[in-house]
Amino acid sequence: MARVLVVDDHATNRDLIVTLLGYAGHQVDEAADGAEALVKVRAAQPSLVICDILMPTMDGYEFVRRLRADAAIAHTDVIFCTATFMESEARTLAASCGVTRILFKPCEPQEILDVVTAALAHERPREPAVAADDFDREHLRLVTDKLVAQSNELLHANQRLSALTELNLRLASERDPFALLNQVCRGARDLIGARYAILGVRHKNGEDTVHFATWGLDPESSTPFDPRDLTAGVLGLVMQERVPRRFLNPAGDPARLGFPASCPPFTSGLVAPIVSLQQSYGWILLIDKLGAETFSADDERLLGIHAAQAGRIYENGSLYLAMKQSAEQLQIANETLEQRVESRTAQLREIIGGLESFNRTVSHDLRGPLGGIAGASRKAGEFLEAGQLDRASQMLGLIAQSAERTERLVSALLALARASEAELHRQRVDTQALVREVVAALPQPADRPPVQVTVGELPQVDADPTLLRQVFVNLITNAVKFASAGSAPQVEVGAGEEQGHPVFFVRDNGVGFSDAQAERLFHPFQRLHGARYEGFGLGLSIVKRIIDRHQGQIRAEGRPGQGATFYFSIGSGP
């Protein structure tokens, strides 16, 4: 039988493969990341490596690249075993670094055994499949393509926001109602991106006068609109329902959809009502989306907002005077517009980053244990049918471990949601008593020296007691976890004062962190020390959201090997 190295940053995922290969008679070693695996391959020279892709410190792609670059171990066969949601990209990049076999979690135990057997039966030296520069470019493309697309979407959204703001300012300062309507028509076409724009509006005083405006149409070659066209067919229905609508018309004949004969042929259309709170005045019709086959839901929403804004300005003849009186406030707002847009863009990027981390965590941390549960359950059934009770018992143990990890992850995600959405119930909180209760309930490590937790004098504050308890639980538990590896672990909880306001701190003498790591402390799913310490990287993110909701501040100071200190304050609230 062969020597096999299993590389995964989650012990539960390794356990299933190690157990299966052990039953098959193989000698199995384990590693928690690519860096550790590289050392073990050089030392033990295994016949085969089964490696996860998404890991801290060194991912699977970088591990294989360095493996192939070392002549002494370049022939080692590698199987990727991953829960990545980008299957086609994973296969392409795997092939480019000399990996031809991939297992996608969750996978059946028999599938694992079959792939391992096939790999060992066809063992042969491998040459590096691609130049290092080409691999780097492909690796970087895979990681950044999604971010580039999202950045482009943000840029497009910001450009639309700026255009809409500028257009609304022009509309608000326009006193001539017909000039206003012409601006509305032109602005709608430019804002959404359409071949033609047509606007129809009745007089705001209830007279029979109807005003039509067009943009992009040739007035000499187009059919003039009739006042009856304002409320005829589908356009009249949109005015009555006061709701925008989109249309697809592959045949091109507008009459087939109930549009007036004066409307030019089109394949896609978007119409929004020009309304105020009480009245429907008309509509804006956009014809043929530029650069796309049809108008989008975002186009429909934006045109609806633009048309409703135009309806209110059109109705309110005194708005110009009100806008003139507030010119100073508008000027101040415009001067800070770019700054506010940049701030909002940064917030959106942070949200997108959090969502991507969430997707990776669900696929990597949740699908893995669930796949292990399903596979081990079937294997346990096979062992029971064969009367192999000891092997069935080992599989049941794997199932229990996977289930417990899954339950802890779900609980952490629920805590993150509660921290963001739960209603605040502020009251006077005795933090001295609260912290002593938290410390009394702390579990102490059984195989290490007990952690000494010192609690100083703590002030009372106005806060939500349940959420504030969660803050202290997370910070103190973190401190105990990272201090417990030392010979004399200590944790201190205390408070000071800055600018007349109390500031709490939780300090430990544990592993600490570097300045580069500090930037990721409060981001969801960030585990600075990899698989060496249990957790999902959600605790500090939960703390940050709770402190933000209390209008407070939180910061951290630390040095590698010299411990860490977390400071936080609670705002006075509304």
Return d(Cα 316, Cα 319) in angstroms, integer: 6
Percent of the chain predicted with pLDDT > 70: 72
CB atoms within 10 A of CB 219: 7
**Residue 545 near residue 416, CB atoms below 8 Å:** yes
Summarize pLDDT for 218-267 with one digit per residue, the tens. 766 677 888 888 888 889 999 999 999 999 988 889 888 889 888 889 99
Residues carrying CATH 3.30.450.40, the chain = 176-316
Q: Does domain 427-568 have CATH number 3.30.565.10?
A: yes
Split at pLDDT 50, 70, 90, the class of 127 is very low
Higher-confidence residue: 287 or 312? 287
Q: Tell me the CATH number of domain 176-316, given options 1.20.120.140, 2.60.40.290, 3.30.450.40, 2.60.40.10.
A: 3.30.450.40
Q: Tell whether omega for the bond before 265 is within 30 degrees of 0, i.e. cis.
A: no
Picking from 380, 405, 378, the residue whose alpha carbon sits closest to that of residue 394 is: 380
Q: Is the pLDDT of residue 569 over 70?
A: yes
Residues carrying CATH 3.40.50.2300, the chain = 1-147+365-421
**Residue 174 near residue 161, CB atoms below 8 Å:** no
Q: Is the pLDDT of residue 149 over 50?
A: no
Q: Tell me the CATH number of domain 1-147+365-421, given options 1.10.10.10, 3.30.1360.70, 3.30.590.20, 3.40.50.2300.
A: 3.40.50.2300
How many alpha carbons lie under 13 Å from residue 401 in its C-beta half-sphere?
16
Query: From residue 511, how far is each of 170, 304, 430, 478, 490 by CA, in Å?
Result: 59, 56, 31, 11, 12
Strands 490-498 and 501-508: antiparallel
Summarize pLDDT for 405-435 with one digit per residue, the tens. 667 666 666 665 565 566 778 999 999 999 9
Residues carrying CATH 3.30.565.10, the chain = 427-568
321 CB burial (10 A radius; 0-12, 13-18, 19+): exposed
Q: Is the pLDDT of residue 524 over 70?
A: no
Average of per-residue pLDDT across 269-285: 90
Split at pLDDT 50, 70, 90, the class of 129 is very low
Summarize pLDDT for 191-214 with one digit per residue, the tens. 888 889 999 998 876 666 888 888
Average of per-residue pLDDT across 311-317: 76
Dihedral of alpha carbons 336, 342, 346, 349, sign = positive
Return d(Cα 464, Cα 510) in angstroms, integer: 30
Q: Is the pLDDT of residue 37 over 70?
A: yes
Return d(Cα 185, Cα 230) in angstroms, integer: 15
- Which residues is 554 bridged to in the sheet? 568
User: What b/e sequence results for 19-54 when a residue is b if at least 16 CB atoms lie within 10 Å of its CB, and e otherwise?
Assistant: bbbeeeebebbbbbbbbbbbebbeeeebbbbbbbbb
Average of per-residue pLDDT across 386-393: 84
**Residue 115 near residue 51, CB atoms below 8 Å:** no
Q: Tell me, what's the pLDDT at 492?
A: 94
